[in-house]
Amino acid sequence: MRILLTNDDGINAPGLKSLEKIAWDLAGAKGEVWVVAPAFEQSGVGHCISYTHPMMVQKMGKQRYAAEGSPADCVLAALHDILPERPDLVLSGVNRGNNSAENALYSGTLGGAMEAALQGLPAVALSQYLGPENVDIDNPFEAAEVHGAALLRKILAAAPKTEQDYRLFYNVNFPPVPAAGVKGSRVAVQGFRQGVTFGVEPHLSPSGRRFLWIKGHDQRVPSTPGSDADVNLDGYISITPMRADLTAHDMLSQFESLNT
């Protein structure tokens, strides 16, 4: 296999090193692993692309590049400039922190996978939930490293062979436990943590200027039963098939009266 890797934590992030181990396990001795990742952290940029300004791309090593852009930018740069041929698979991550529930909507990790899917490629976003049981161990990404390759093989084997329109991509979140504590995997819907929204926290600089920090919320708030965040907190890996189609299909009939 030829596998393309990107992330939103940046080219030097430890989670990317974990993803490289997973990718090489999948690719095999005769395979290829390419890395095109942001030169700087791009957390929270979603599916942003640098539409109004150019980005600099620098070669960092064999089949390894840093781009001054978003994860989606990195995928575009890889597919249309850097790689000699299209990859068989695009992996984005492993993100430091979960991209379950509402976090998925902001995630640059998912943005990279989504762009790959829009470009017609199979893609998976991988994130490592952090909590008291794993945040301070030697390798907080241990659960992803140990279980990642086997899980990806199962996802690829189960994926539909032909797709039309908006192609599927997959959001995978590893639970906040060491590898030995993972109970298994669950296919789960995207959850909703009630009352968990981003906000702002104002600060004054030494010069008296006012700045705002974007502030997150407690990630241990209970989510929709059986959803991604819910099964993650119960020790399971969540797998959520996604598409870039944002249409609320269940509501179309309710608004038929608007047709004229």
pLDDT in tens, 158-198: 999 888 899 999 999 999 999 999 999 999 999 999 888 88
- Are 189 and 247 a contacting pair, CB within 8 Å? no
Q: Which residues of 168-180 are buried (b: 16+ CB within 10 A; e: fewer)?
A: bbbbbbbbbbbbe
pLDDT for residue 139: 98
Residue 38 and residue 113: Cα distance in Å, rounded? 14
For residue 20, name the pLDDT band (cuts at 50, 70, 90): very high
Residue 211 and residue 101: Cα distance in Å, rounded? 28
**Nearest C-alpha neighbor of 75 from the set 118, 29, 106, 105:** 118
Where do the H-state alpha helices sit in the chain? 14-27, 71-77, 108-118, 142-158, 228-233
Supply the pTM of this predicted model. Answer: 0.95
Average pLDDT taken over every residue of the chain: 96
**Nearest C-alpha neighbor of 244 from the set 113, 149, 153:** 113
- With the C-alpha atoms ordered 231, 180, 89, 77, is the resulting torsion angle positive or negative? positive
